[in-house]
C-alpha cells in the first residue's frame, strides 16, 4: 500500500475579509464590476444563484471579447477563469450551506481535517461532476466491470484506442509474466492486460490522485495482487526488464504550463526521447513496446511532427513491427465544440521491437 502521497485538490480558502454577498435579489452588473475589480463574491441562499452568476458572467464576457480567433478565445478563457474563481461558496461540516445544493462526497474524503472553508463555485462544479462519475461508475466497452475514476484522474470518454489494444491483446502470443504500464492513469490498460492473462503489471504515474485512486479501487481484491503501483515518472522503481511495455501518452504537444489533468492530454518536448531511452534498457531482447496514439496533432495542425515516427527514423533504438489504425466516431450532435476534423482522425497502435 502506498502512503504519504499528497493528493491534488482545490485549495481550501479561509477568508477573514468581509465578502460581497450574492443572491437572486443582487444587482448582477454591480456584482460583475466587483469581480472585475478583483473582489471575491460569496454565493448565498440557493445553489442555483451560483449557476445564475456564472451564466451572467459568461454572457458579459462574450460581449467584451470577440471570441473568434484562437488568440481571442484564449483571452476570453483566461478572463473567465480569473473572474469565475473569485465566485466563492461556503462549506461547513463537509456540506455546502446553501439550499438545494448537491451532496458531494469529495468534500469529506478530500477535506477530512477541514470543517469550515470556502471554495470557488467552478471548483465545486468540478467536484460534483467527479463525484457522480465516481459514485455511479463509467462503463468501458473493453472491461467487464465499471470504472470508478478518482477525483483529478483522467479517464477516456471515447474508446477506439482501447478497442484496438484489446484486439491486439487477443492475438498476442508472447509470454505473459510481466508488463509495465507507463502513465497508468485510471488503470484501464492494466485491467485489460490482467483480463488477457498477464501475471504481473507494474504501473507508474506522476499524478498522485491516479495512484491513490487505484489503490482504493483495487483494495484487497485479486487485482491488487496482480497490479503493482509506483508514484513516479516513466519506469519508476521497476528495474527488472519486462516482456511488454505499454504507453498511452498524451496526444498533443504542450503549449503552456500544465496542471495535472492537462499532463494526461499534452506532452512536453522531453517526454518521448526520455521514454524511448529508458524503454531500451527495460525491454527484454524479444520484448515489445505498444504505444497508443492518434493523428490528432497533425490534422488539427498543431504540429506536423509525429514523435513515434521521429523515433523510428532517427532514434536508432527500435524498429516497427506493425501499426494498426482505426477511425474515430464523429462527435455527438450535442457537443458545442467545432470538431469537424474528427472525420479524418485515426487512433493508432504502434508495436515496436529492438533493432
Residue intervals in the chain for CATH 3.40.50.150: 160-354
Instruction: Give me the pLDDT at residue 74, please.
Output: 77
Q: Under 8 Å CB-to-CB from 135, ≥6 apart: which residues?
A: 105, 148
Q: Kindly compute the dihedral angle of the four CA atoms of residues 2, 179, 297, 185, in this order, to the nearest 10 degrees.
A: -20
- Our measurement of the distance from residue 275's CA atom to the centroid of its chain's CA atoms, rounded to an integer in Å, reads 20
Instruction: Give me the pLDDT at residue 331, please.
Output: 47
Angle at which helices 48-64 and 121-136 pack, to 10 degrees?
A: 120
DSSP E strands in the chain: the ranges are 20-22, 41-43, 87-92, 95-96, 116-120, 178-182, 200-205, 227-231, 242-247, 252-253, 266-267, 283-294, 318-327, 346-354
Instruction: Give me the pLDDT at residue 259, please.
Output: 47
Query: What is the C-alpha to C-alpha distance for residues 120 and 50, in angstroms, rounded to an integer?
Result: 10
Helix (H, G, I), strand (E, B) or coil at 226: helix
Per residue of the chain (355 residues), what is the pLDDT tens digit? 555 789 999 999 987 788 999 999 999 999 999 999 999 999 999 999 999 999 999 999 988 887 676 677 778 888 999 999 999 999 999 999 999 999 999 999 999 988 899 999 999 999 999 999 999 999 999 999 999 999 999 898 889 999 999 999 999 999 999 999 999 999 999 999 999 999 999 999 999 999 999 999 998 788 999 999 999 999 999 999 999 999 999 877 776 544 444 555 677 889 999 999 999 999 999 999 999 998 777 776 667 789 999 999 999 999 999 999 998 876 444 434 444 445 678 899 999 999 9
Cβ–Cβ < 8 Å for 91, 104? no
- Sign of the CA dihedral 239, 276, 344, 322? negative
Residue 182 bridge partners (DSSP): 204, 247
Element housing 169 (H / E): helix 160-171
Query: What is the C-alpha to C-alpha distance for residues 254 and 263, in angstroms, rounded to an integer?
Result: 9
Query: What is the C-alpha to C-alpha distance for residues 117 and 9, in angstroms, rounded to an integer?
Result: 14
CB-based burial label for 87 (10 Å; 0-12, 13-18, 19+): buried
DSSP E strands in 27-158: the ranges are 41-43, 87-92, 95-96, 116-120
Q: What is the CATH number of domain 160-354?
A: 3.40.50.150
Amino acid at each position: 500500500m502506498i502512503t504519504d502521497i499528497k493528493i491534488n485538490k482545490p485549495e481550501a480558502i479561509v477568508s477573514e475579509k468581509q465578502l460581497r454577498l450574492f443572491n437572486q435579489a443582487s444587482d448582477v452588473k454591480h456584482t460583475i464590476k466587483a469581480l472585475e475589480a478583483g473582489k471575491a463574491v460569496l454565493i448565498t441562499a440557493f445553489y442555483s444563484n451560483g449557476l445564475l452568476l456564472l451564466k451572467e458572467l459568461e454572457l458579459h464576457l462574450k460581449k467584451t471579447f470577440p471570441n473568434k480567433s484562437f488568440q481571442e478565445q484564449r483571452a476570453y478563457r483566461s478572463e473567465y477563469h480569473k473572474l469565475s474563481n473569485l465566485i466563492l461558496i461556503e462549506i461547513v461540516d463537509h456540506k455546502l450551506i446553501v439550499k438545494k445544493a448537491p451532496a458531494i462526497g469529495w468534500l469529506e474524503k478530500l477535506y477530512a481535517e477541514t470543517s469550515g472553508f470556502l471554495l470557488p463555485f467552478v471548483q465545486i462544479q468540478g467536484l460534483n461532476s467527479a463525484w457522480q462519475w465516481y459514485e455511479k461508475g463509467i462503463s468501458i466497452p473493453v472491461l467487464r466491470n465499471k470504472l470508478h475514476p478518482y477525483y483529478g484522474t483522467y479517464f477516456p470518454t471515447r474508446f477506439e484506442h482501447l478497442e484496438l489494444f484489446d484486439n491486439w491483446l487477443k492475438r498476442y502470443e508472447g509470454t505473459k509474466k510481466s508488463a509495465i504500464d507507463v502513465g497508468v492513469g485510471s488503470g484501464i490498460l492494466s485491467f485489460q492486460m490482467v483480463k488477457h492473462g498477464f501475471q504481473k503489471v507494474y504501473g507508474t504515474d506522476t499524478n498522485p490522485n491516479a495512484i491513490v485512486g487505484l489503490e482504493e479501487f483495487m483494495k484487497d481484491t485479486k487485482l491488487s495482487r496482480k497490479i503493482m503501483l509506483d508514484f513516479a515518472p516513466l519506469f519508476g522503481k521497476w528495474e527488472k526488464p519486462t516482456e511488454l511495455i505499454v504507453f498511452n501518452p498524451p496526444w498533443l504537444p504542450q503549449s503552456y504550463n500544465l496542471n495535472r489533468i492537462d499532463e494526461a492530454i499534452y506532452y512536453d518536448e522531453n517526454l518521448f526521447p526520455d521514454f524511448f531511452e529508458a524503454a531500451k534498457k527495460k525491454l527484454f531482447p524479444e520484448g515489445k513496446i505498444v504505444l497508443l496514439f492518434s493523428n490528432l496533432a497533425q490534422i488539427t495542425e498543431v504540429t506536423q511532427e509525429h514523435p513515434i515516427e521521429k523515433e523510428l527514423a532517427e532514434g536508432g533504438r527500435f524498429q516497427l513491427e506493425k501499426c494498426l489504425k482505426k477511425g474515430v466516431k464523429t462527435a455527438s450532435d450535442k457537443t458545442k465544440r467545432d470538431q469537424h476534423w474528427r472525420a479524418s482522425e485515426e487512433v493508432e497502435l504502434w508495436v515496436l521491437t529492438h533493432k
